[in-house]
């Protein structure tokens, strides 16, 4: 399985994702330079955290115009798996691959800490290895992670089961105190309607080994590998629309 990690000049979690995939997950991984419109036949694209182009304007606002993002859009449209983490999530919303926007944190301060997430939707290619309602620990580190969308968009997200992770307390309760940044509906991560594009503020690569305090994030990468394996027969990127659910039923 081949992972491709986008590299914008200000990406700073690219090496961490690379390490988690190569050294912990032990899968093939390459960097995809922002100036090149070439995904090097990656099976899954990771848009890592950082500050893409400095992000002095608005997080991810410039990144969406980069040559590589044009390819990512095509890849996503044809069903390819795209995982946006933190700044990657911001970029995916700016690029129109995911709905909504990430506003400044309620506290107006950058926040780095571990949070608890409840898995809302385990039937995506990224969450197959989790159970519904499972509470996982993954760190966040962002200044603009306050998810916002118009009410009708939120309603759509709910209806289509696109809300994948929510901030909760350790017992899985969706309380205001457990919401670190003021995100609507305690939303920490969402997917597109087809389920092949996921954006999330927490950093699974920072929770991929127990020595770092949690290995709960590793399962996300393992889910992707598993999903790709069971879909190999159909030649990626085959129509993955909701296919996780379909295929899961078959497994």
Partner 1 sequence: MTEPPISKELVQKHGLTDEEYRQIESILGRQPNFTELGIFSVMWSEHCSYKNSKPELKKFPTSGVGILVKAGDENAGVVDIGDGWAVAFKIESHNHPSAIEPFQGAATGVGGIIRDIFTMGARPVFLLNSLRFGPLTENKSTSAVVAGNNRKLLKGVVAGIAHYGNCIGIPTIGGEVYFDESYTGNPLVNAFCLGVLRHDQIRKGKASGSGNPVFYVGAATGRDGLAGAAFASRELSEESREDRPAVQVGDPFMEKLLLEACLELFEQADAVVGVQDMGAAGLTCSTCETASRGGAGIEIELDNVPQRESGMTPYETMLSESQERMLIIARKGKEKLVRDIFEKWDLHAAEIGRVTDDGLMRVKKSGRVVAEIPAAQLANDAPVYHREARPHPAAIDTRGTTADTRGTTARNGSHEFPNFKNDREALLNLLASPTIASKNWIYRQYDHQVRTGTVVLPGSDAAVFRVRCGETEKYLAASADCNGTHCYLNPRQGAKMAVAEAARNLACSGARPLAVSDNLNFGNPYKPENFWQLRECVEGLAEACRFFNTPVTGGNVSLYNESPEGAIDPTPVVAMVGLIEKKEWITTQAFKKAGDLIYRVGGAGKGLGGSRYLKELLGEKRGPLPEFDFEKELMVQEAVRQGIQSGWIRSAHDCSEGGLAVTLAECCISGREGIGATIDLEGVGRSDEMLFNEAPSRVVLTIAPEHRAVWDALAVEKALIGEVGGSDLKLETAGSTLIWKVEELHQFWWNAIGRLMDEEAC
Query: What residues act catalytically?
Result: 86, 203, 205
| Cα–Cα distance for residue pair 196/190, rounded to 1 Å | 11
**Other CB atoms closer than 10 Å to residue 70's CB: what's the count?**
13
Give Cα separations from 16 to 4, 37, 147, 208 (angstroms). Answer: 13, 23, 24, 10
Q: Which of 96, 151, 177, 235 binds partner 1 (CB under 8 A)?
A: 177
What character string, x for contact with partner 1 (CB under 8 A) and - otherwise, covers 70-109?
Answer: -------------------------------------x-x
| Cα–Cα distance for residue pair 225/234, rounded to 1 Å | 15
Least Å distance between CB 27 and partner 1? 16
Least Å distance between CB 31 and partner 1? 12
- CB burial of residue 228 (10 Å; 0-12, 13-18, 19+): buried
Least Å distance between CB 228 and partner 1? 24
- Of residues 112, 196, 193, the one with CA closest to residue 156: 193
Can residue 219 be called a binding residue for partner 1 (CB under 8 A)? Answer: no
Query: Which residues bind to partner 1, rule: CB under 8 A?
Result: 9-10, 12-13, 15-16, 19-20, 35, 49-51, 53-56, 107, 109-113, 139, 141, 143, 177, 180, 203, 205-206, 208-209, 211-213
């Amino acid at each position: 399985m081949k992972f491709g990690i986008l590299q914008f000049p200000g990406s700073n979690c690219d090496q961490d994702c690379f390490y988690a995939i190569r050294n912990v997950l032990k899968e093939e991984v390459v960097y995809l330079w922002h100036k090149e419109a070439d995904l090097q036949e990656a099976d899954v694209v990771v848009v890592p955290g950082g500050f893409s182009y400095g992000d002095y304007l608005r997080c991810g606002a410039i990144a969406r115009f980069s040559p590589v993002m044009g390819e990512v859009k095509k890849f996503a449209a044809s069903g390819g798996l795209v995982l946006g983490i933190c700044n990657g999530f911001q970029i995916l919303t700016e690029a129109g691959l995911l709905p909504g926007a990430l506003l400044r944190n309620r506290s107006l301060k950058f926040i780095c800490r571990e949070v608890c997430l409840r898995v809302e939707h385990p039937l995506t290619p990224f969450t197959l290895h989790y159970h519904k309602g499972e509470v996982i620990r993954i760190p966040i580190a962002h200044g603009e992670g306050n998810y916002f969308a118009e009410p009708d968009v939120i309603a759509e997200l709910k209806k289509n089961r696109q809300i994948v992770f929510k901030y909760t307390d350790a017992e899985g309760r969706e309380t205001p105190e457990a919401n670190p940044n003021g995100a609507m509906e305690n939303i920490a991560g969402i997917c597109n309607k087809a389920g092949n594009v996921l954006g999330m503020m927490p950093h699974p690569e920072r929770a991929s080994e127990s020595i770092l305090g949690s290995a709960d994030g590793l399962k996300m990468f393992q889910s992707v590998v598993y999903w790709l394996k069971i879909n190999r027969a159909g030649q990626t990127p085959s129509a993955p629309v909701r296919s996780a659910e379909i295929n899961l039923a078959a497994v």
